[in-house]
Amino acid sequence: MSTAKTPAAGRAIRIVYCGPSEGGKTTNLEALSRMLPSHSLHKLLQLATETQRTLYFDLLSLQLAIDADTMLRMELFTVPGQSFYLNARRRVLREADGIVFVADSRRHRLDANIEALAEVAAAIEDAGRDVEDVPAVLQLNKCDEDNAIPHAELMRLLGCDGEPFVEAIASDGKGVVETLRLISRQVLAPRRQFEPTF
C-alpha cells in the first residue's frame, strides 16, 4: 500500500518574519532549519527542506503532514528591516497568511522596534488589509542580553499588551519552534482542526 501523501491544493501558507535589522529574523530560520528535521518523528512534521537567500529575503520551505493523506506547504520568509523596497514589502505583506514580528529586547533597540512595528502596520494597511485581521505573533528575542527589557515592560512599551508573544533566544534555538507553533495555530485553526505536533 502506498504511503505517499497528496499535496494540499492551492499555494503554500506564507509566514513573514519582520522586525528591526539585526533582531534575529535570519537566525530564527537558520535555527528552524537545524531543529525541525530532528522533530520529524512527529506525525505532523515531515521535513524542513531548504534555505535560500535572495536579494530581498530568506526563505525556508517546510512541508507539514496535516493528516494521514495531506501535505501542506509552508513558506517562511524574512524581510529586511531597512533596505526593503516598498513595492516588494507591500507584495510580501499583501500575500502573508501570518506575521511573526521579531523584536530585539535590548533596551537601546526600543526605538528601532517601535519604528519597525509601525512600518509593518503601515505596509499592511497599504496593501489594503486590516492589521487586526492578519494573524500575528510577537517574538521577544535576545532576552539573554544583560540589557534586555523584561517582557511585561517591553510588551507595554510596544503597545502590545495582551497580544500573544514568545520570549526567545534564537541564537540558542530557544523559543523558535514555539513561535512557529503559535503562528501556525493562528493561521491554520480557522481552516480546519489543526494542532501542530512539532
Ligand X SMILES: Nc1nc2c(ncn2[C@@H]2O[C@H](COP(=O)(O)OP(=O)(O)O)[C@@H](O)[C@H]2O)c(=O)[nH]1
Q: Which of 22, 67, 119, 178 binds ligand X (CB under 6 A)?
A: 22
Select from ligand X, Mg ion, none the partner in contact with residue 144, using the beta carbon and a kind-dependent cut-off of 5 to 8 Å.
Answer: ligand X
The answer to whether the CB of 142 falls within 8 A of the CB of 104 is: yes
Binding-residue pattern over the window 158 to 177 for ligand X, x denoting contact by CB under 6 A? ----------xxxx------
151's grid cell: 517582557
Question: Binding of ligand X at residue 144 (CB under 6 A)?
Answer: yes
* Three cell numbers written together for 170: 534564537
DSSP structure class, residue 174 = B
Determine contact, residues 136/101, Cβ cutoff 8 Å.
yes
Q: Which stretch binds ligand X (CB under 6 A): 1-9, 16-24, 64-72, 87-95?
A: 16-24
Binding partner at 171 among Mg ion, ligand X, none, C-beta below 5 to 8 Å by kind: ligand X
C-alpha cell of 39?
Answer: 522533530
CA atoms of 183 and 28, how far apart (whole Å): 14
- Binding part of the chain for ligand X, among 22-30, 92-100, 149-157, 159-167 by CB under 6 A, reads 22-30
Closest CA to 2 of 69, 82, 48, 53: 69
Closest CA to 179 of 146, 128, 143: 143
Site for ligand X, residues 60 to 119, rule: CB under 6 A: 78
Q: Does 51 help bind ligand X (rule: CB under 6 A)?
A: no
Residue 178 touches ligand X, criterion: CB under 6 A: no
Where along the sequence are the contacts to ligand X (CB under 6 A)? 19, 21-27, 78, 141-142, 144-145, 168-171
